[in-house]
Structures are given as structure tokens and as C-alpha cells.
Amino acid sequence: MGIFDRKPNTEKLKEKRDVEGLIKALKYKDDDVRAEAAEAFAEINDTKAVEPLIQALKDENHHVRSGAVKALGEILDKRAIKPLIHALKDEWWPVRDGAAWALAGYGNVREVKPAVDPLIDALNDEVQYVRRRVVRALVAIEDTKAVEPLIQILEYGDEDIEVQVLAGWALGKMKDVRAMEPLICALKDKKVNGKVRAVAAGSLGIIGDKGVVELLIKTLKDKNGDIRYNAAVSLGQIKDARAIEPLTVALKDKDEGVRKEAKEALKNINVKKN
């Protein structure tokens, strides 16, 4: 690793956008220098760094690997997809988290589809922050294979309630009809966590099936303000005339947010109020 006569100044190299210098710094003997060089490429975003950054994913130092996944997630070169998939099993959880974040950045492109099954496996990661990130990645990639595993999380929960909430949100974003019944059940069940019921109310509106209008109307009377709020939003999205009268009543809800969304929903259904 003796490629510099003295320790490289990665900050100056970054300021000068010295790509070749930073690539050399990725091989320097000092862990901190290599980590700083990797992180610098997250700002410089140069495809010439892709192969060196892929090599940095194998670095013995976890900070270097973490910087590399961050940089590759900014550059989004398709050469990095397979190495990023492999990084989902890194021993250090921030690297796994960064890999899921990076893969999400590719969105719904053919080349990233091989990441779906490894991401589904990563829904069982021991760290909740990684599981949260993985759910978001599966939504970004938009593959229907993820629907059933997400339904499982919605129905049976997760040690981290935010993962279950994200699963409910994801099922709405994916707009798959298989999610309708599980979302309805979650909303109806008063034993389910309020955050989960609230996201279920919101996701049903995104899916937009008019078969849930009566349930959402009933939900406008729920004790939980967040649930009433999302029910109002959803009724505005579905735009069914059956909701006019209940939404008019909701204009007097004790919660300001509910009143505001009821008003917006009525506008969406083309009802003018004095």
C-alpha cells in the first residue's frame, strides 16, 4: 500500500475533485484515510470510482465498507448491483443498511430484480433499522414477489412496530389486490396497534377500491385521531358520493387535522361547502 510518500489529505483531494488521488487513497494503509476516500465519492459521484469502490466493499475495515456502499448508492452504476446484493449479508449492520438503501436507488429496473429475493430474506435481519430500510427498498423496486412477505409482517407483526407500519404502507404503495383483505382486517381489529390501523386506513385509500368506503366511513368515528385522519384522506382519494354526509359531519371533528382533510375530501368529491 506504499503508493503515497506521506499521508494523503482526503479533504483537499475531495475539494479538488481529484478522482485519481482518491482512488489511490482507497488503497492507503490507514483505515481512516480509506474510509474518508470512500465517503468522498458519495459527493464527487464519478463512475471511474465504481470498480475501486466495489473492491472497497471487501475491505477489512467496516467504516471503509460503509463509505463504499454510500458512494455506490449515489453513483448508481449497474456494475455495483451484484456486489451490493452481496453486501446485504455483511457482518456490520450499517453496511447491510447502506446496501439496502443503495439498491432502492435503482428503482424498478430490470437489472436490480435479482436483489428482490435477497431483500426478502433480509426482512428477517436481526437489526430493526435494516428491516425498515429493506421494506422501503422492496417498494422502490416494485416487484410483486414482495407482497406476500409484507402481508405476513402486517398480519403477524414484527418486534419493531415501525417495521409493521412500514409493511402496511408498502402494501398500499404497491397497490396489489392481495393486500386488501389483510389491510381491512388490520383496520377492523381494535387490538392491533393504532399506528398499524392508521396506516391500513391510508393504504386502503391508495389502492382505491370502492368496496372499503363503508368501512372507512365507519372509521371516521374511531377514537384514534390518526385513524380518523387517514380515513378522511382515503375517502377523498376514492371519491365516492356515499362519503359526502359523513365527511360533512367530520368537518366538526375535535381534531384540526381531521377537519382539514374532511374539507379536502369533500372538494375532491366536488362538493362545495359554504
The number of beta carbons lying within 10 Å of the beta carbon of residue 144 is 10
- Residue 11 backbone zone (phi > 0: left; psi -120 to 50: alpha; other: beta): alpha
Q: Which residue has the cell 453496511?
A: 95
What 8-state DSSP symbol labels residue 47?
A: G
pLDDT given for residue 270 in this prediction: 79
- In our burial notation (b when 16+ CB lie closer than 10 A, e otherwise), range 93-127 reads bbbbbbbbbbbbebeeeeebeebbebbbebbebee
Mean pLDDT by 10 residues, the chain (274 residues): 71 95 95 96 95 98 98 98 98 98 97 98 98 98 97 97 98 96 97 97 97 98 98 97 97 98 95 48
Q: From 174, 167, 183, 178, select the one nearest 230 (Cα to Cα).
A: 183
Instruction: Phi first, then psi: give them for residue 253, nearest 5 degrees.
Output: -60, 150
Helices within 58-211 (DSSP H only): 62-75, 81-87, 93-104, 116-121, 128-141, 147-156, 161-174, 180-188, 194-207
Instruction: Return d(Cα 183, Cα 196) in angstroms, integer.
Output: 9
3-state DSSP helix/strand/coil % of the chain, to nearest 5? 75, 0, 25
Helix (H, G, I), strand (E, B) or coil at 23: helix
pLDDT of residue 155: 97
114 close to 81: Cβ distance less than 8 angstroms: yes
pLDDT for the residue 2: 46
Predicted structure pTM score: 0.92
